[in-house]
Amino acid sequence: MQDHIVIDRRFRGPPDSGNGGYSCGTLGALIDGAAEVTLRMPPPLDTPLRIETQDGDGILATHDGKIVIEARPTTIDTSIPAVVSPSTAEKAASAYEGFDNHAFPACFVCGPERLEGDGLRIFPGALGTNGACAAPWIPSASVADPDGIVRPEVVWAALDCPTGWATYYAASDGDLALLGRLTARILVPVEAETTYVCAAWAAGSEGRKHFATGAVISPEGTLHAVSHAVWVELKGDRRS
């Protein structure tokens, strides 16, 4: 196992910390099968994070003796509420609220300020009024390995932001929320320069915690990856 990870500034969410899904994926990718990854603090950018093993099969990423990210193997329910077609996702994305109202417009995943080939440009638009959303995604070669397979941490990133937007569309009058925990599994490799649908569905709330399921789906309906996310509201910082 490698001894450290570094989250490059390209993969930021907020201006000075890593995108939550990408950061979770850097550690989750080191675990075979499904992994549950918890962000203990905002992941710093361009900073070596030391990889340490935990009791059992867990893994930690630490900096200056503090736990930044914690991961452990787990199981995951791979059922999703529905398969979303590319045409439905494209129509939803055309009405993406993040074009006009985005807390972090330079987010690697869903930031509208990021250019083609730099950010993922996944723009999840609402599907009705029930906290579901979707967007098309064509991964660029810049996020793939030499064989054209999208790197796992990037797939984790694609599984992240749509779940946040799902919770936003379900209850858009809440405080700004950030990813706290992401549980995910890649079932089928994701290929660069290929069209997929990223979809998410809100799954309820408990106080300041909001839950959602995310998926990466092929046009043929194959489920390539699935996630369950926990988003946590920040007190006193309104979403809109």
Tokens of 53: 């093993």
Alpha-carbon gap, residue 171 to 130, rounded angstroms? 9
Residues 60 and 97 in one domain: no
Residues 230 and 155 in one domain: yes
Q: Please give the pLDDT value at position 172.
A: 60
Residues 22 and 118 in one domain: no
Q: CA angle at residue 34 from 151 to 114, to 5 degrees?
A: 35
The answer to whether residues 128 and 84 touch, using CB atoms and an 8 Å cutoff, is: no
Q: Please give the pLDDT value at position 239.
A: 42
**What total of structural domains would you count in the chain?**
2
Helix (H, G, I), strand (E, B) or coil at 146: coil
Within a domain: residue 205? yes
Within a domain: residue 80? no
The answer to whether residues 111 and 102 touch, using CB atoms and an 8 Å cutoff, is: yes
9 contact partners, CB below 8 Å, separation of at least 6: 45, 46
Alpha-carbon gap, residue 125 to 240, rounded angstroms? 16
Residues 29 and 92 in one domain: no
Within a domain: residue 81? no
Residues 182 and 211 in one domain: yes
CATH number of the domain enclosing 34? 3.10.129.10
Helix (H, G, I), strand (E, B) or coil at 212: strand
Q: Please give the pLDDT value at position 128.
A: 87
Tokens of 168: 């936003």
168 contact partners, CB below 8 Å, separation of at least 6: 97, 174, 177, 239
pLDDT in tens, the chain (240 residues): 789 999 999 999 999 999 999 999 999 999 999 999 999 999 999 999 999 988 778 999 999 999 999 999 999 999 999 999 999 999 999 999 999 999 999 999 999 999 999 999 999 999 987 899 999 999 999 999 999 999 999 999 999 999 999 999 998 665 689 999 999 999 999 999 999 999 999 999 999 999 999 999 999 999 999 999 999 998 754 443
- pTM here is 0.95
Within a domain: residue 162? yes
C-alpha separations of 156 from 20, 65, 175 in Å: 9, 26, 24
Residues 207 and 118 in one domain: yes
Domain containing 205 equals 86-238
Tokens of 80: 């999703």
Query: Of 73, 98, 118, which one is at a domain's C-terminal end?
Result: 73
Query: Of 73, 99, 119, which one is at a domain's C-terminal end?
Result: 73
Query: Of 73, 94, 113, which one is at a domain's C-terminal end?
Result: 73
